[in-house]
Every structure is written in structure tokens, then in C-alpha cells.
Amino acid sequence: MTTEESKAALVARLGQLERAARPLNPGTGRRRTLRNAVSASAERFLRRIETLKAFEDDAGSGQGLLAEPIGERGLELERVIDLFEREVVTPGLNPASGGHLAYVPGGGIYHAALGDYLAAISNKYAGIFFTGPGPVRMENQLLRWVADLVGYPASAAGNIASGGSIANLTAIATARDAHGLKGGDLATAVVYLTSQAHHCIEKALRIAGLGEVQVRQVPIDEHFRMRPDALTSLIEADRAAGLRPWLVIASAGTTDTGAVDPLDRIGAVAHAAGCWFHVDAAYGGFFLLTEHGRSMLRGIETSDSVVLDPHKTLFLPYGCGVVLVRDAAPMLATHHYFGNYMQDAAAARDEVSPADVSPELTKHFRAVRMWLPLKLLGLAPFRAGLEEKLLLARYFRREVAELGFEVGPEPDLSIVTYRWVPPGADLERCNRINQRIVEAVRRDGRVFLSSTMIDGRFTLRMVALSFRTHRKTIDLALRVLRAAAAEATAA
């Protein structure tokens, strides 16, 4: 083949491939069709959200997805949407339902979904300031707002990560390097937390190469809060034994009971001992928007690092966890790297780039899903929604006690623990009955409640956190519980 011929063949092939790849970039008309179908599906869902079950036990487990393998040819739009609604949206937990009162409910406000849409359409690069000055300023502005809420100084830095687990990992890796922990130090370094700390903390320690550190469970009081006096004693004993107290991790809203450790007193003990003080406020942090939350979380401002999950307590859809570190320097020291392929970006440095303070380089442009709702709605409805959740928990506790359930302590935030104790039932029978109650509630499905074990007692939990949970949802939960308790006791 001559050079001319081979060029002609190349051009012809490029033309073919361009045509074959054209569906990747739909035109106006096709975009409208796609958008309308997706919008219609979203509307079908949202218009029925009040009557959809919070847990759907009888709709399979998404097996139908496997009947449609990924293949060379696309499917009809209607079939794809139908597959999605039937196999993905319907089965299992419906986290968008106000009746989701289990685990720690998530959010999913509409404005945030539209933010995701805009983020994906522009696909702005959110990792590095040079290429994405707008996205990076937006993220840092949001982080500054959260830092002000927490009470951190101007030196703070942070990151909008994918969730609380990665946010905690980022903080723990920073704490490791800030205290210069190296391999040889691990066996003598000590972490202090309580039995109520979220499991992602120990997971983060392991991932951060710290699986060999000593972990002390600090005793808790009758409200499941860390006891500062017990922390002091443990630290003193470890010192005396030649160990190196390193990290104190307090919870601002434990997952089991929503307990808030006494942050001001724990912080004072931690700092006096020269420890890094980390607060896991993944669930409780944004209650700082309420007066009650501010008083419960007093002392959070003394921490060295903190985690708050906007996908929980700011009602955003899943995929959003904030980590803040009081002083940017150690966070940068742990995460900042440089590659030659990034040399053009080095000059532009008016803002800390997310890639310099987190494990991620390229990232989902998460900031818009937080920015758009905050800009459109302002803070007032968030404050009101959060205060409503705090009061709904109190309301539930009163009413469920009225039904004859034994209730746990007055909630620190929006989680209530309770259990059904029929007269004369021993622990084993009690546990069985309460397990049957949870199962009956799940089968009913109108609300979804979960359980935990507290000191060997099978305990029921109710968590008010969804922006769609209101008084009538709680009244429904109470009716479902009354019936379930009667059924479980009779069985």
C-alpha cells in the first residue's frame, strides 16, 4: 500500500468509527427523549413516595438484572427504565421513604439530585485548583462553612469525601503522620475509644497500616457516653507501663443509641495527655445547626479533626462525608503528592486542592449537590428539619413508653432505644420476642426499624433522621409496633 492509500484507508476507518460512536453524544431531540423518560420515572417514584413501603420484602432481590447481560446492542429506553424501577428501586430498603427509621437513615433531597445532574453534565474537574478553580473554590467555601459551624480556626482544611468511613480514614492517616508514628512505634501507640465507636474506625486503623496499635475501650456511663475519669485512668496506666497514648476518638452521636460523648471534658483529657483528639460526628455533627445540638456537642471545637456526614444529617443523597482537620499542615503532609504530568498545575495555588488533602485525585464533583440545596433553600429549612427530628425522637419515646415498651435513656439526639418486656419473661424469651417484633415490622414494611444488642439485650431502635419523617410517620410506627408486639408475644 502506498502512503496515500494507507492514509485514505485510515480516514475511511475513522469516519466509520465516528459514526458508530455517535450515540455517545446524543443531539437535542434524543436528549429530550432521554431526559423526559428519566424525569417521568423520578416523578412516578416521588408522587408515590408517601405510600411506597419503607421495606419491600416481596419483590425479589434484583435477579432480573442478570437476565439482561451487558451486550453489544443497547435496549429500548422504556425497557431499561422498567428494569431499573422493578429490579433496583423496588426491592429491599427504600431509603427515600420517611418510614425509614432504621440504622442511620439517609437523605436524598431533590435539589441535591439536580446538583448531581449539573455536576455530571459539565463534568468539571474538582480535584485540582488549576483545572477546576470554580469547583475547588466551591468545595472549600462549603468546608469553611462547616468549619465555622464546628468552630475551627482559619488554619483548618478539609475535604468532601464519599462518606464517613473515608472521611474517618483521612483523619486517622493525618493523625498518624502528625505524631510521626512509624512501623516501630505501632506496638506501643495507644488509641482510646468506646465500645460504641463505629466499626469504620477500626477498619480505618487497619487500612492505615495501624492494625497493630493498642486499642483501649474506655468504659461508658449509663447513657453510653465515654467516661472522662476512666479515660484519664487508662492513659495514666498506659504511660506508667511505658506505652505512648496517641489518639482519642470521641463520638458525637453513636450509631447504636445516638449518645454524644462529653466532648469538652474528653478533649481536655486528650490534650493534657498530648493525644490527637478526633471526633466522629458522622451522624450527629450537623445537629450543630440546632440550639440543642450546639449544647450537646460543646467542645467539638477543641478537636484536632472531625467528621460530619452531609448524606445523613444534611439530608443529601448518599456519597458525601466531610472531614476537617484543625490545622491544614499535617493534612497536606499526609496527602500531598506531585507528578510530572501535573507540572502545569503547580503554579496556581490560591486554594488548597482537594487532591492535596485526600486519597483521591480525580473525584466526583460532589460539592454541587451540597451547594445547590444550600444556595436555593438557605439554612432555615435545614435547621427546622433537624429540630423536628430531635423532637420526633422525644415524642416517640414518650408514646412508645405509653404503649408499655421499656425505653432507654432520654435521647441525646434523634435515636431512641426501647424493647418489649412482657411480665415474667426471662432475658432469652424477651430477646426472642423483640427479634420477632423487628421481623414483623419488616414484613409489614410501612415503616422500617432496626435492632441492636445492648449488654446482651436485644434492643429495638428508632432513628428519626429522614427529611420525609414527620409526626404522622411516627404515629404509624407506633401503630405497627403495637400490633407487632401483640403478635410476637402471642406467638
Ligand X SMILES: *Cc1c(COP(=O)(O)O)cnc(C)c1O
Q: Which positions touch ligand X (CB under 6 A)?
A: 104, 163-165, 198, 200, 251, 253, 255, 280, 282-283, 309, 321
At closest approach, how far in Å is the CB of 28 from ligand X? Answer: 38
Distance CA 189, CA 365 (A): 37
**C-alpha cell, 78:** 422504556
**C-alpha cell, 189:** 501507640
Strands across the sheet containing 276-281 = 157-161, 321-325, 305-308, 276-281, 244-251, 189-193, 214-217
Angle among Cα 83, 85, 87 to the nearest 5 degrees reads: 60
Q: Where are the alpha helices (DSSP H) in 297-345?
A: 310-313, 328-335
The answer to whether the CB of 373 falls within 8 A of the CB of 253 is no
At closest approach, how far in Å is the CB of 348 from ligand X? Answer: 31
Please state the φ and ψ torsions of residue 248, each to the nearest 5 degrees: -110, 125
Beta bridge partner(s), residue 416: 462
Within a 10 A sphere around the Cβ of 398, how many other Cβ atoms? 11
Nearer to ligand X (CB atom), residue 263 or residue 480 = 263
Nearer to ligand X (CB atom), residue 256 or residue 444 = 256
At closest approach, how far in Å is the CB of 263 from ligand X? Answer: 13
DSSP 252: B
DSSP 211: T
| Inter-CA distances, 349 with 328, 353, 433, Å | 14, 8, 61
Distance CA 291, CA 324 (A): 22
At closest approach, how far in Å is the CB of 288 from ligand X? Answer: 15
Nearer to ligand X (CB atom), residue 251 or residue 431 = 251
Please state the φ and ψ torsions of residue 80, each to the nearest 5 degrees: -70, -45
At closest approach, how far in Å is the CB of 393 from ligand X? Answer: 15
At closest approach, how far in Å is the CB of 336 from ligand X? Answer: 24
Nearer to ligand X (CB atom), residue 283 or residue 418 = 283
**C-alpha cell, 264:** 469538652
Nearer to ligand X (CB atom), residue 152 or residue 283 = 283
The answer to whether the CB of 207 falls within 8 A of the CB of 201 is no
**C-alpha cell, 369:** 449537590
- Beta-carbon-side half-sphere exposure of residue 324 (alpha carbons within 13 Å): 31
Cell numbers 433553600 correspond to what residue?
377
**C-alpha cell, 286:** 450537623
Nearer to ligand X (CB atom), residue 115 or residue 253 = 253
Q: Look at residues 187, 262, 208 and name the one whose alpha carbon lies nearest to residue 231.
A: 262
**Coil vs helix vs strand at 408:** coil
Nearer to ligand X (CB atom), residue 200 or residue 478 = 200
At closest approach, how far in Å is the CB of 318 from ligand X? Answer: 8
**Coil vs helix vs strand at 348:** coil
Distance CA 238, CA 165 (A): 28
Nearer to ligand X (CB atom), residue 100 or residue 198 = 198
At closest approach, how far in Å is the CB of 196 from ligand X? Answer: 9
Nearer to ligand X (CB atom), residue 414 or residue 431 = 414
At closest approach, how far in Å is the CB of 187 from ligand X? Answer: 26
CA 41, chain centre distance (Å): 26
At closest approach, how far in Å is the CB of 210 from ligand X? Answer: 17
Cell numbers 438557605 correspond to what residue?
378
Nearer to ligand X (CB atom), residue 146 or residue 485 = 146
Residue with nearest beta carbon to ligand X: 164
At closest approach, how far in Å is the CB of 202 from ligand X? Answer: 11
Nearer to ligand X (CB atom), residue 165 or residue 334 = 165
Nearer to ligand X (CB atom), residue 251 or residue 334 = 251
At closest approach, how far in Å is the CB of 309 from ligand X? Answer: 5
- 312-340 burial, b at 16+ Cβ within 10 Å, e below that, comes to bbbbbbebbbbbbbbbbebbbebbeeeee
